[in-house]
Structure 1
Amino acid sequence: MIEIEPVALDDELKRRLASIGTFDIVIFVSPNAVEHGMTLLKAVGARLPAGVIVAAVGRASARALASLGVVGVLFPAQRSNSEELLECDELTRVKGKRVVIFRAQDGRELLADTLRARGADVEYAGVYRRVASRVDALCVLSRWLDADCRVLVLTSGAAARVLLDRTPETLRQRLFGSPLAVFGERLRDTCREAGWRGPIGVCNAAGDDGLVDAMASLIRSHC
């Protein structure tokens, strides 16, 4: 439902990336933020400075950074979300610190708002954008709904919004009664508020293993 595209390296983004050495804390919100952020840093001749605190919202992002040689990354050990990351000691004492958050051009404001409330100076580096997939969603959904055993997986609020917006009324009732696996209670609540009636399995554990467990539980119970 969602495709990831790189952004143009405009003057403002170029300036922010080139000044990476002035930040005390660098946060990556997703593997996409790692991939596109590190690529753009290289494009402007910049690199993460020694001694900077590098943080990631989840284990997958930390692994992506490790694959690029960035070690000692701060990330939540249990749930992969902003709320858990904000509980880390290094992010509770940020008064007077400069923080840059690598993310999509849009996204949640929780990290920035909370860190600013704690006294940090926070800037964004929007290094990719999310766009609706060019795939024929109606065709894909129709074929998926005809399967004998099916579990839908939604990994982000953006994907959920696209799905909810693009599902025609002719399929909505069937779709909203299907088993659904999501990352976190917040996304589950979003789907419930939109009218999802089917069982929803929530993945709270970091990484893909938790998602697989949530899907397996739904299959055992409802397929």
Structure 2
Amino acid sequence: MTAWRLLLTRPADDCAALAETLAGEGFFSSCLPLLDIVPLPVSDKVRQGVAQLSRCSAVIVVSKPAARIAVALLDADGPHSLAMPWFSVGAATAQILRDHGLDAHCPEEGDDSEALLQLPRLREGVSLPGSRVLILRGEGGRELLAERLRELGASVEYLELYRRDLPAYAPRELPRRIEAERLNGLVVSSGQGFEHLRQMAGDAWPTIAQLPLFVPSPRVAEQARAAGAQTVVDCRGASAAALLTALREHPVPVF
């Protein structure tokens, strides 16, 4: 067992899966999910977006929840001819799409927007005149991805499928958990996850901000540093493999 004792904050199912993976590698972790995935009502806009998928040059799915909701919508809407390439940042999201028979691609190395933008198949698809990209996501997020795609000449639209709520916890549950379990590192999987972490920290944030914070991207790293986090480690991806690499490269703090 390593000296790292980590707080995991992903949605409940993903949190449990990551904890199991970490335990197999000798890392102690404690799950405190700070994101509750809530599917949005199926609006006319969502129905229209699904109906018009075949007109897209490429579809980008930014997360596993977005992929799960998307394939459920496709099933409910009936048979589709969807020969266009689908893309995701992470391999787990791509696998959900492939299991549904979709032509899904993701970076082999790195699981962030920058790695995705370097995929030749994606760049080829958006380089064609009149190319149209649809990004399936939760409320907010991945603005950099859309900006870069537009710079490459693509028309980019969003279809928001879910929101991320903060689960209900007793007051001061976050600092209590950190102290009771002697945790010495924090892991967040998104910008909103970090904002929920700060919210849960309350007036204990200046103390909690001293703990190493593992984040998935440069954007979230910048967000955390601006909020006062003192030691921010950019894992360059939200996968378990990316986190494990960062944990092995970063020294355990001594308090």
TM-score of Structure 1 vs Structure 2, range by shorter chain: 0.7 to 0.9
Kindly state the Cα deviation for residue 138 of structure 1 after the two structures are TM-superposed: 2.1
Instruction: Show the 5 A alignment for 1:1-223.
Output: 1-47=34-80, 49-50=82-83, 52-71=84-103, 73-92=104-123, 93-136=127-170, 138-169=172-203, 171-197=204-230, 199-204=231-236, 207-218=239-250, 221-222=252-253
CA distance in structure 2 between the aligned counterparts of 1:117 and 1:202, rounded to whole angstroms: 25
Structure 1: give runs of 5+ residues left out of the alignment.
none
The root-mean-square deviation of aligned C-alpha atoms, in Å, is 2.1
Q: Report if the CA contact (8 A) 1:182-1:203 is conserved.
A: yes
My pick for the range that moved more, 78-87 or 27-36, is 78-87
TM-score, normalisation: structure 1? 0.87
Kindly state the Cα deviation for residue 145 of structure 1 after the two structures are TM-superposed: 2.8
SS in 1 for 2:172: helix
Q: How many residues align?
A: 218
Kindly state the Cα deviation for residue 185 of structure 1 after the two structures are TM-superposed: 2.7
CA distance in structure 2 between the aligned counterparts of 1:137 and 1:144, rounded to whole angstroms: 14
My pick for the range that moved more, 184-193 or 52-61, is 184-193
Name the CA shift for 1:137/1:151 in 2 (closer, same or farther; >3 Å).
farther
Amino acid at match of 1:162: H
SS in 2 for 1:177: coil
CA distance in structure 2 between the aligned counterparts of 1:137 and 1:153, rounded to whole angstroms: 20
SS in 2 for 1:69: coil
CA distance in structure 1 between the aligned counterparts of 2:67 and 2:37, rounded to whole angstroms: 13
Structure 2: give runs of 5+ residues left out of the alignment.
1-33
Name the CA shift for 1:67/1:136 in 2 (closer, same or farther; >3 Å).
farther
Name the CA shift for 1:183/1:48 in 2 (closer, same or farther; >3 Å).
farther
Q: Percent identity?
A: 29
Name the CA shift for 1:118/1:213 in 2 (closer, same or farther; >3 Å).
closer
My pick for the range that moved more, 175-184 or 90-99, is 90-99
TM-score, normalisation: structure 2? 0.77
SS in 2 for 1:103: strand
Kindly state the Cα deviation for residue 46 of structure 1 after the two structures are TM-superposed: 4.9
